[in-house]
């Protein structure tokens, strides 16, 4: 039979290993955050045209969330992605995951040139960029789901989903 002291020592060693893992995770997270900040600073510099969506306005995020509610009721695929009970860390119900998902959609569309440049309705002599992005995974045989957003000054200022 094992004595209590030996069991406590094993738990103590396991705790020490976890503390090391945690410290490494914090360092990696800090490095990732610094890298992202550098990229954001570069993309939003005066040399950029404002078409890189690096943030989502509160108004746009609210619009997107309000439209997600009926979408998850209409589609099992969207429901599974939004709630993702298999891996909660990937669930779009977490605001940070939904923001990352939306920004990734826009980044991929930007890279493909899938946007139009228009005169800004808010900024004199400024521009806004309209992205119309088909979401194939969430589309159905007889209708396509499209995400539309308007980016101005590197910020998604409006966003919504439509069935086509």
Instruction: Print pLDDT tens along the chain (164 aa).
Output: 567 788 899 999 999 999 999 999 999 999 999 999 999 999 888 777 889 999 999 999 999 999 999 999 998 889 988 887 677 788 888 899 999 999 999 999 999 999 999 999 888 888 999 999 999 999 888 999 999 999 999 999 999 999 99
Give me the pLDDT at residue 82, please. Answer: 87
Q: Residue 9: what are its φ and ψ, rounded to 5°?
A: -65, -40
Give me the pLDDT at residue 126, please. Answer: 87
d(CA 108, CA 125): 27
- 108, 123, 113, 110: which is closest to 157 by C-alpha? 123
d(CA 161, CA 157): 14
Give me the pLDDT at residue 107, please. Answer: 95
pTM of the model: 0.83
Number of C-beta neighbours around residue 150 at 10 A: 20
Give me the pLDDT at residue 2, please. Answer: 60
């Amino acid at each position: 039979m094992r004595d209590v002291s030996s069991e406590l020592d094993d738990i103590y060693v396991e705790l020490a290993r976890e503390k090391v893992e945690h410290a490494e995770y914090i360092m990696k997270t800090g490095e990732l955050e610094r890298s992202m900040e550098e990229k954001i600073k570069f993309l939003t510099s005066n040399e950029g045209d404002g078409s890189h969506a690096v943030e989502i306005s509160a108004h746009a995020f609210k619009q997107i969330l309000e439209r997600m509610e009926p979408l998850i009721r209409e589609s099992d695929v969207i429901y599974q992605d939004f709630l993702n009970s298999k891996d909660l860390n990937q669930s779009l119900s977490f605001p940070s995951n939904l923001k990352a998902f939306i920004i990734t959609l826009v980044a991929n569309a930007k890279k493909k040139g899938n946007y139009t440049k228009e005169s800004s309705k808010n900024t004199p002599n400024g521009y806004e960029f309209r992205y119309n992005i088909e979401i194939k995974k969430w589309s159905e045989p007889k209708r396509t789901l499209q995400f539309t957003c308007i980016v101005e000054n590197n910020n998604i200022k409006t966003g919504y989903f439509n069935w086509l």
